[in-house]
C-alpha cells in the first residue's frame, strides 16, 4: 500500500477570530446595486417555492410526516447507522466512520492513495465543504475539480459557496464571464449565460473523462437498504459516479432515513422547497458498486452531530435536509449575502448550527435575524428555526457573551420597563424631543440609526392618556 510511504500534509488549523456578522456584511450591504439585486434574485426563488407548496393540498401534512420521520431517526440514530452499515456492506459497499473533519479527509485521501490517483471529480457536497476537503487534498497533491457549475465558478475564483443550493448566487453574469475568460478562454466581455454554460460543459466534460475517482455528497441514506440517494439537476454527480471505477460518497450521519418508502416524503419536499421544482432532474439511487471491478465507499461523518443530538433545545436542527428554503426567505440573508455568515452553512439554519460548534466565535449570528419567523414557516422538516435563534440569544446573554453596547442597552431597557413612572416619563420626553429637536441634531454621523431613515412623527398623546379618557365611553358592547 502506498499510503505507508507517503506522509500526510495537515495544514495547522487557522484560528482567526471571525468578524461579527454586521461588520462582515458591511461591504455587501453598502453596495447600492448588490444587496437589492441579491434580494430580488432570492425572492424569485422563494416565490417559485411558494407556488409549488400551494398546489400540493397535502403540503402541511408532508411537512409533519417529514418532521416525525426525522425525529424518530435521530432518536435511534445509533441503531439505524448500524443497520445501514450492515445493509450497505451486504450490497458490496465499504463503509468508513469518521469522528471529525480531519478523519474524514484522511479516509478520503487514503482511498485515493490506495488507487494511486491524483485526479478526482467532485459533485456538490456541503459536508466536504464543511470538512475543508478541497484544501486538504490539494495540499496533498490531488487535483480536485468541482463539477457543479456554481461550485466550479467559485472554485476558479478561489471563493467559497455563498449559498448551499445556489453556490454562486452572489455573482453577476459579467463576473462569471470574466472568470471564464481568464480560466477557460471564453471571449472577453461575454456574459450570455447560455454561451458561458456551454463553455463550462465542454471544459468539465474533459475533466469528467480524465477523473479517476468520483466524490459525491449524499442527500439521503437508507438504513433498510444500505443505499444512498443523490439529487442534482445537472447530472454531474451521476457522470462523476458512473465514469470512474471508484465512487466515494461522503455522508453526514444525520442524512439517514429508516425505510426506502420514507423517500416518498422527502423527494416530494426537497426540490420544491429548494428551487421550486417538482423534483430534481436526477434523483439517483446507489446500492453497492456498479460491478465486480468497481468500488463504492461510503464515509459516515459525525463532526459535531452526535453532540448536537444531545441538546434538547437544538436537536431538531439535525432534521435539516439542506434545501436552502430558510435562506431564500430570510430578509437578513437576502440583503447581507451568504459570505457574511463566515460559515459553510449560512442563513437561519447556519446561524443555529455555527454556534453549536463554537459559540464565542459565532455569537453574532443569532442576532442576524429579525425574528420574523419566515424561516420556520418554510422549513420542510419543521425545524423551529426562529425559536432556536431566540434560544441562542438567551444562552449568549446568560453566558455573558453579549457585546457591551447590547448589554448596557438591555440593562437600561429592563430598568425602564420595570417602572411605570419612569416609562411614562420617558415616553413624554421622547414625544417632546421628536417634536422640538432640529434635524441636524438627530441626523449626524454618531446616530447610525438615522443614516437611511427618518424619525417617526410623534403622536399627540400617549396611549395611557388616551385610554384613561376613553375607557368608559368606548368599551365595546356585547
Partner 1 sequence: MIQPIEPIQTATTKSRQTILDRLMAKEVESPGLPTPDPSKLTRFDDPLAKFSEILEGVGGQVHLIDDPRQVAEILGKTEVFSNAERIVSLVPEAVDNSFDISSIDDPHDLAAVDWTIARGEFFVAENGSIWIEGQSLPHRVLLFIAQYLAIVVSRREFVHHMHDAYARIEAPKSPFGVFVSGPSKTADIEQSLVLGAHGCRALQVFLTP
Residue list 330-349, contact with ligand SF4 (CB under 6 A) = 349
Angle between helices 34-55 and 263-275 (to 10 degrees): 140
* CA separation for the pair 447, 220 (Å, rounded): 50
Residue for grid cell 495537515: 10
Length of the chain: 478
- For residue 440, give every residue at least 6 positions away whose Cβ sits within 8 Å of its Cβ, in sequence order, or none: none
Residue 313 Cα to chain centre, angstroms: 19
Return the closest-CA partner of residue 326 out of 351, 301, 343, 357: 351
Sign of the CA dihedral running 257, 260, 265, 269: positive
Cell of 46: 422563494
Alpha helices (runs of H) in 167-243, residue ranges in sequence order: 173-184, 193-210, 236-242
Q: In the complex with ligand SF4, which residue's Cβ is closer, 73 or 179?
A: 73
CB of 310 to partner 1, least distance (A): 5
CB of 412 to partner 1, least distance (A): 40
Q: Which does 110 bind (CB under 5 to 8 A by kind): partner 1, ligand SF4, none?
A: partner 1
Q: In the complex with partner 1, which residue's Cβ is closer, 5 or 452?
A: 5
CB of 310 to ligand SF4, least distance (A): 19
* CA separation for the pair 139, 200 (Å, rounded): 25
Q: Which stretch binds ligand SF4 (CB under 6 A): 37-45, 118-126, 186-194, 374-382?
A: 374-382
* CA separation for the pair 268, 285 (Å, rounded): 15
Q: In the complex with ligand SF4, which residue's Cβ is closer, 299 or 349?
A: 349
Rg of the chain over all Cα atoms, to the nearest angstrom: 26
The binder of ligand SF4 chosen from 144, 263, 326, 365 (CB under 6 A): 326
**383 binds ligand SF4 per the rule CB under 6 A:** yes
**127 binds ligand SF4 per the rule CB under 6 A:** no
The binder of ligand SF4 chosen from 45, 379, 389, 396 (CB under 6 A): 379
The binder of ligand SF4 chosen from 217, 227, 324, 337 (CB under 6 A): 324
Beta bridge partners of 229: 220, 285
Q: Which does 365 bind (CB under 5 to 8 A by kind): partner 1, ligand SF4, none?
A: none
- φ/ψ of residue 54, rounded to 5: -75, -20
**350 binds ligand SF4 per the rule CB under 6 A:** no
* Span 243-302, contacts to ligand SF4 by CB under 6 A: 273
C-alpha dihedral (375, 380, 384, 386), degrees to nearest 10: -10
* Span 302-321, contacts to ligand SF4 by CB under 6 A: 320-321
**98 binds ligand SF4 per the rule CB under 6 A:** no
The binder of ligand SF4 chosen from 112, 253, 316, 381 (CB under 6 A): 381
Q: Which does 325 bind (CB under 5 to 8 A by kind): ligand SF4, partner 1, none?
A: ligand SF4
Interface residues with ligand SF4 (CB under 6 A) are: 273, 320-326, 349, 378-381, 383, 385
Amino acid at each position: 500500500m502506498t499510503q505507508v510511504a507517503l506522509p500526510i500534509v495537515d495544514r495547522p488549523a487557522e484560528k482567526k477570530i471571525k468578524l461579527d456578522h454586521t461588520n462582515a456584511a458591511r461591504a455587501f450591504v453598502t453596495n447600492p446595486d448588490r444587496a437589492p439585486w441579491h434580494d430580488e434574485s432570492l425572492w424569485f426563488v422563494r416565490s417559485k417555492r411558494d407556488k409549488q407548496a400551494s398546489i400540493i393540498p397535502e403540503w402541511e401534512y408532508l411537512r409533519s410526516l417529514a418532521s416525525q420521520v426525522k425525529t424518530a431517526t435521530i432518536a435511534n440514530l445509533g441503531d439505524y447507522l448500524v443497520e445501514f452499515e450492515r445493509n450497505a456492506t451486504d450490497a458490496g459497499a465499504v463503509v468508513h466512520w469518521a469522528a471529525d473533519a480531519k478523519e474524514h479527509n484522511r479516509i478520503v485521501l487514503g482511498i485515493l492513495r490506495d488507487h494511486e490517483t491524483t485526479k478526482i471529480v467532485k459533485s456538490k457536497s456541503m459536508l466536504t465543504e464543511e470538512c475543508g476537503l478541497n484544501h486538504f487534498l490539494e495540499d496533498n497533491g490531488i487535483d480536485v475539480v468541482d463539477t457543479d457549475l456554481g461550485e466550479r465558478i467559485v472554485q476558479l475564483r478561489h471563493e467559497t459557496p455563498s449559498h448551499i443550493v445556489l453556490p454562486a448566487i452572489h455573482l453577476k453574469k459579467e463576473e462569471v464571464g470574466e472568470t471564464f475568460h481568464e480560466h477557460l478562454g471564453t471571449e472577453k466581455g461575454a456574459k450570455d449565460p447560455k454561451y458561458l454554460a456551454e463553455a463550462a460543459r465542454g471544459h468539465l466534460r474533459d475533466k469528467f473523462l480524465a477523473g479517476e475517482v468520483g466524490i459525491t455528497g449524499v442527500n439521503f441514506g437508507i438504513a433498510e437498504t444500505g443505499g444512498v440517494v443523490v439529487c442534482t439537476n445537472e447530472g454531474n454527480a451521476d457522470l462523476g459516479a458512473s465514469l470512474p471505477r471508484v465512487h466515494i460518497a461522503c455522508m453526514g450521519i444525520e442524512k439517514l432515513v429508516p425505510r426506502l418508502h420514507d423517500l416518498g416524503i422527502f423527494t416530494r419536499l426537497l426540490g420544491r422547497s429548494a428551487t421550486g421544482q417538482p423534483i430534481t432532474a436526477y434523483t439517483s439511487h446507489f446500492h453497492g458498486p456498479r460491478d465486480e471491478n468497481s468500488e463504492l465507499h461510503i464515509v459516515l461523518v459525525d463532526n459535531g452531530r452526535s453532540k448536537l443530538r444531545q441538546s434538547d433545545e437544538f436537536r431538531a436542527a439535525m432534521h435539516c435536509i439542506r434545501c436552502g428554503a430558510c435562506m431564500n426567505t430570510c430578509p437578513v440573508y437576502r440583503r447581507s449575502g451568504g459570505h457574511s455568515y463566515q460559515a459553510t452553512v449560512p442563513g437561519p439554519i447556519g446561524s443555529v448550527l455555527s454556534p453549536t460548534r463554537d459559540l464565542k466565535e459565532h455569537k453574532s449570528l443569532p442576532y442576524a435575524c429579525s425574528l420574523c419567523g419566515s424561516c420556520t414557516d418554510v422549513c420542510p422538516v419543521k425545524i423551529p428555526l426562529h425559536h432556536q435563534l431566540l434560544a441562542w440569544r438567551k444562552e449568549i446573554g446568560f453566558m455573558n457573551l453579549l457585546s457591551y453596547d447590547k448589554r448596557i442597552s438591555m440593562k437600561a431597557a429592563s430598568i425602564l420597563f420595570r417602572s411605570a413612572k419612569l416609562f411614562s416619563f420617558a415616553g413624554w420626553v421622547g414625544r417632546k424631543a421628536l417634536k422640538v429637536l432640529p434635524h441636524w441634531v438627530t441626523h449626524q454621523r454618531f446616530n447610525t440609526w438615522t443614516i437611511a431613515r427618518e424619525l417617526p412623527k410623534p403622536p399627540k398623546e400617549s396611549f395611557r392618556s388616551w385610554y384613561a379618557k376613553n375607557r368608559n365611553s368606548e368599551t365595546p358592547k356585547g
